[in-house]
């Protein structure tokens, strides 16, 4: 049994907390390798959400009765828990959003539409997720700001020399993915933050694939904004986090309006609530917030250093196994320490969608397509790729199952 219990963490014990991993399809045990899209949920998170609905379901910040008080406290403390997890200075710097995409749009609309204009520049990268690339592209069109893209090297790294040339005194925002959801590359976001700040630019970091897989300290990075999603880190869907430096969030106007985000309303004017509530209009995702905090506490118990070591070990094993075959092309860095636990690849003569379908016949769940990175796939010269992405409950045995399923694909398309 490979990597069932390692120095990093006890995978066999962890798997017991995830009921969905016990599923079988046609007598075959589920092998879930699509964690880059969404992670599975432990019993603890499921129970925390159920407990909210069963015992103190109420709206927050709107009632004096006991249930509302309990729900409000739980929701506020969830902000504290998530903020501390990434090194933010309290709940004032942690806005709950629907997901990373929602956080990106919040900054783009609240900050970008007000601060950008003709002659200004936005610098992002060729490896960005559509949630970043498309958002800044559209903001550029609306404001007249130019959008520039840092290229990648043949090995799948950001070209840092090009980045230093592209980021100039005209740059107002640098937006970069911390970990590529296609290449697995871990980008030097702290170094990029230094370059951005040297030119009085802000930096937005998309941490959707980073916060679930490694320790993240937004203060050490010196990010101005940092976004991530709960569902990729054992939490529920419909909840995410946006860290923003307090002085920036205080200066920004909200882009959604309604109940919960106001201090005072008259027929003449409206004033906004304190942070972070001024950015959380309407009834928030209360149950999801409670589940988000529970997921963070679960990961803290596991230890994010352990999570990172496990991810790197799985990535290294997957790279070794896939390198055994001449008909497989792997994308991204070949050094496990330079990437997280996901591997995108193609099998010669087999479209990625066909490959994913064959994998499904063997109860192996992977993703196939462009992974919301169409421009990056254009750079790679492929229409699509298959992606296996790992998490804390995955084992080397499951990677072996992936490799065995590849043999079936070869036979079918021979």
* pLDDT tens track for 345-357: 999 999 999 999 9
Band of residue 7 on the pLDDT scale cut at 50, 70, 90: low
Distances (CA, A) of 43 to 17, 230, 342: 5, 16, 24
Arithmetic mean of pLDDT, 262-273: 95
Which residues form the catalytic set? 372
Arithmetic mean of pLDDT, 133-154: 98
Residue 1, pLDDT above cutoff 50:
no
User: What pLDDT, in 10s, does the model give residues 62-76?
Assistant: 889 999 999 999 999
| Class at the top of the CATH hierarchy for domain 46-301 | alpha beta
pLDDT of residue 413: 86
pLDDT of residue 60: 96
pLDDT more than 90, % of the chain: 96
Contacts of 155 (CB under 8 A, 6+ apart): 333, 334
pLDDT of residue 62: 87
The whole-angstrom separation of Cα 87 and Cα 368 is 34
Tell whether domain 11-32+303-409 is in CATH 3.30.70.141.
no
The whole-angstrom separation of Cα 166 and Cα 62 is 48
**Comma-separated ranges of CATH 3.90.1150.10 domains in the chain:** 11-32+303-409
The two structure tokens encoding residue 387: 């992606």
Band of residue 3 on the pLDDT scale cut at 50, 70, 90: very low
pLDDT of residue 105: 98
User: What pLDDT, in 10s, does the model give residues 87-141?
Assistant: 999 999 999 999 999 999 999 999 999 999 999 999 999 999 999 999 999 999 9
**What is the rounded average pLDDT for all residues in the chain?**
96
Q: Which of 202, 177, 204, 198 is nearest to 188 (CA)?
A: 177
- Please compute, for residue 45, the number of CA atoms within 13 A of its CA located in the half-sphere on the CB side: 26
Band of residue 42 on the pLDDT scale cut at 50, 70, 90: very high
In Å, the largest CA–CA distance within the chain is: 73
Contacts of 202 (CB under 8 A, 6+ apart): 111, 172, 173, 174, 196, 224, 225, 248
The whole-angstrom separation of Cα 177 and Cα 410 is 34
What global pTM score does this model have? 0.96
Band of residue 2 on the pLDDT scale cut at 50, 70, 90: very low
**Comma-separated ranges of CATH 3.40.640.10 domains in the chain:** 46-301
Identify the burial level of 87 via C-beta atoms within 10 angstroms of its C-beta, where 0-12 means exposed, 13-18 middle and 19 or more buried. middle
Euclidean distance between the first and final Cα of the chain, in Å? 31
Arithmetic mean of pLDDT, 203-208: 98
CA dihedral for 414, 406, 335, 296, sign (positive or negative): positive
């Amino acid at each position: 049994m490979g990597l069932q219990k390692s120095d990093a963490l006890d995978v066999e014990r962890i798997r017991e907390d995830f009921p969905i991993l016990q599923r079988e399809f046609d007598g075959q045990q589920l092998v879930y390798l699509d964690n880059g899209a969404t992670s599975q949920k432990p019993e603890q998170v499921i129970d925390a959400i159920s407990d909210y609905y069963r015992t103190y379901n109420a709206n927050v910040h709107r009632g004096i009765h006991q249930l509302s008080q309990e729900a409000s406290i739980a929701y506020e403390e969830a902000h504290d828990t998530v903020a501390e997890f990434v090194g933010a200075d309290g709940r004032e710097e942690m806005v709950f959003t629907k997901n990373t995409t929602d956080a990106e749009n919040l900054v783009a609309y609240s900050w970008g539409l007000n601060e950008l204009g003709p002659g200004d520049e936005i610098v992002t990268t060729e490896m960005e997720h559509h949630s970043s690339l498309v958002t800044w592209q559209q903001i550029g069109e609306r404001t007249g700001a130019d959008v520039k893209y840092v290229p990648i090297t043949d090995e799948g790294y950001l070209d840092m020399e090009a980045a230093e040339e592209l980021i100039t005194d005209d740059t107002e925002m640098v937006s970069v993915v911390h970990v590529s959801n296609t290449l697995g590359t871990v980008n030097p976001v702290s170094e990029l933050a230094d370059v951005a700040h040297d030119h009085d630019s802000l930096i937005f970091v998309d941490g959707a694939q980073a916060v679930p897989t490694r320790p993240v300290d937004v203060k050490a990075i010196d990010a101005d904004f940092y976004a991530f999603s709960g569902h990729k880190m054992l939490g529920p869907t419909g909840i995410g986090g946006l860290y923003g430096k307090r002085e920036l969030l205080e200066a920004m106007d909200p882009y959604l309006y309604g109940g919960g985000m106001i201090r005072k309303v008259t027929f003449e004017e409206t004033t906004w609530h304190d942070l972070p509530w001024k950015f959380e209009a309407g009834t928030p995702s209360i149950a999801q917030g409670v589940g988000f905090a529970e997921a963070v506490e679960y990961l803290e118990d596991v230890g994010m250093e352990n999570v990172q070591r496990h991810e790197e070990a799985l990535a290294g094993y997957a790279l070794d196994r896939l390198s055994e075959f001449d008909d497989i092309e792997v994308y991204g860095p070949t050094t496990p320490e330079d990437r997280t636990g996901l591997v995108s690849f193609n099998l010669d003569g087999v479209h990625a969608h066909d490959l994913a379908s064959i994998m499904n016949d063997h109860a192996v769940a992977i993703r196939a397509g462009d992974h919301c990175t169409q421009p990056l796939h254009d750079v790679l010269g492929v229409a699509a790729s298959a992606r296996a992405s790992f998490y804390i409950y995955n084992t080397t045995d499951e990677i072996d199952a992936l490799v065995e399923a590849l043999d079936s694909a070869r036979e079918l398309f021979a």
